[in-house]
Amino acid sequence: MNVQLNITKNLKNQFQRYFKLKEVQGEYFLDSTVGGGQSMEFVNFPGKMEFYHFKKSYFKIPIQMKSVNPIDSEWFLIHINLSNTKQQKKVKDEFIDFQKHLPIGLLLYGPGLEIDTQLPANIEMELATIHFHRSFLDTYFENWKDSIDTTKNLVYEDLDYKLENALNKALFSIRNKIECHANVLHFMNLFFKKIRIHSRNSHHEILHSEDVKNLFIASVHLRNPLSKRILSLDELASIANMGITKFKTTFKQLFGSAPIQYRNKIRMEFAREEIVSQRKTPTEISYDLGYAHPSSFTTAYKKYFGKLPSSCI
């Protein structure tokens, strides 16, 4: 089935048309000829914002979905993958595990975007979506154009433990509109705080679907915090099927930092989650990450977060 979503339009109406959704007591279910599983829940908030939770479900047929946001659009969409946080992905001929701390993450769709998504048949999926207008940024973020680079048509951010906790509160309260709205606003505040620290490039490439796919293939080699081998920029660019200049520009554009800084972020945020959850002590995680001495890890951690690892315990 070929599906084309117009991000400037109400998403629920488009989903109902393509997937034959049937409403039962405020929840929406896939028609049995299209798929099965749990429902979709939807709530709209003041300020032209929509919040969706697509619970665990599957399609009986493959779906080819193209999401389109015109260059003059004033609409944005945050796509959040909530499928099993530990997933095995096949990248070319190599199987790679995505750890719990490395879910697929969040994608911010901006103006000028066309992106293709392939949804295979009989694979369970879960996701959340926040659809909002530029007026939301005008209302809640003073001088946001100075810190949030919306000229990027696609921006990625990891779903770290703070964002995940905030999102879960929003999902659990979706039947209580005012509480859910408050929780979604808290999530958006955290998300845009992270987006603000993304590097700004003076030059932007138009990210096409093939570019995005290749950048994610390359990023896989930076996303395991326990890996001891660091690929060179030449190797990463080759994996992404790009010249090194284009690779560096588009990687920073999508992920918000250069490849080595991105890898460091993955390692530090993994360390923080292990320490906060008390699965590992700072000393234990320092050795897991390959530091010769815990003091070296402590210095790196403080440089990144501005506080000592012991303060998280």
Reported confidence tier of residue 93, pLDDT bands at 50, 70, 90: low
Percent of the chain residues past pLDDT 70, beyond the cut: 89
- Give me 59's structure tokens: 């399609």
Beta bridge partners of residue 79, listed in sequence order: 107, 129
Q: Return the pLDDT at 97.
A: 44
User: Of 54, 44, 51, whose CA–CA distance to 188 is shortest?
Assistant: 51
* Average pLDDT in the chain: 84
User: What count of other Cβ atoms lies within 10 Å of the Cβ of residue 95?
Assistant: 8
DSSP 33-85: TTEEES-EEEEEETTTEEEEEEEEEEESS-EEEEEEE-TT--EEEEEEE-S-S
> pLDDT by residue (tens digit) across 241-286?
999 999 998 898 888 889 998 998 888 888 888 888 788 888 888 8
Task: State the amino acid at position 29 in one-letter form.
Answer: F
27-70 per-position pLDDT tens digit: 888 988 888 888 899 999 988 999 999 998 888 988 888 889 99
- Assign 106 to helix, strand or coil: strand
**Tens digit of each residue's pLDDT (9 = 90 or more) over 200-242:** 666 666 777 778 888 888 888 888 888 878 889 999 999 999 9
> What is the β-pairing status of strands 49-59 and 75-81?
unpaired
pLDDT of residue 26: 83
Q: Please report which residue ranges of the chain form alpha helices under DSSP H.
A: 11-19, 134-140, 161-172, 177-196, 209-219, 233-239, 244-255, 259-276, 282-288, 294-305
pLDDT at residue 306, rounded to an integer: 85
Distance CA 147, CA 160 (A): 21
Question: For residue range 95-109, what is the model confidence (pLDDT) as tens digits?
Answer: 444 433 344 578 889
pLDDT of residue 241: 92
Asked if 91 contacts 81 with a C-beta cutoff of 8 angstroms, the reply is no
148 or 68, greater pLDDT: 68
Task: Tell me 200's DSSP state.
Answer: P
Give the pLDDT confidence score for residue 100 in this predicted structure. Answer: 34
Residue 69 gets the label, from left (phi > 0), alpha (psi -120 to 50) or beta, of: beta
Mean pLDDT check: name the lowest of 133-147, 159-173, 205-219: 205-219
b/e 68-78 (16+ beta carbons within 10 angstroms → b): ebeeebebbbb
- CB 239, CB 217: distance < 8 Å: yes
Residue 48 amino acid letter: K
pLDDT band, residue 90 (cuts 50/70/90) = very low
- Residues shown for the chain: 313
Question: Judging by beta carbons within 10 Å of its beta carbon (0-12, 13-18, 19+), is residue 202 exposed, middle or buried?
Answer: exposed
- Name 66's bridge partners: 4, 116
Q: What is the DSSP string of 46-59?
A: TTTEEEEEEEEEEE
- Residue whose structure tokens are 């975007």: 113
Domains, the chain, ranges and CATH? 2-196 (2.60.120), 209-312 (1.10.10.60)
- In degrees to the nearest 10, what's the CA dihedral of 216, 221, 222, 223? 70
Which of 21-35, 58-72, 139-153 is predicted least confidently?
139-153
Query: What pLDDT, on the 0 to 100 scale, is given for residue 122?
Result: 85
pLDDT value at residue 91:
41
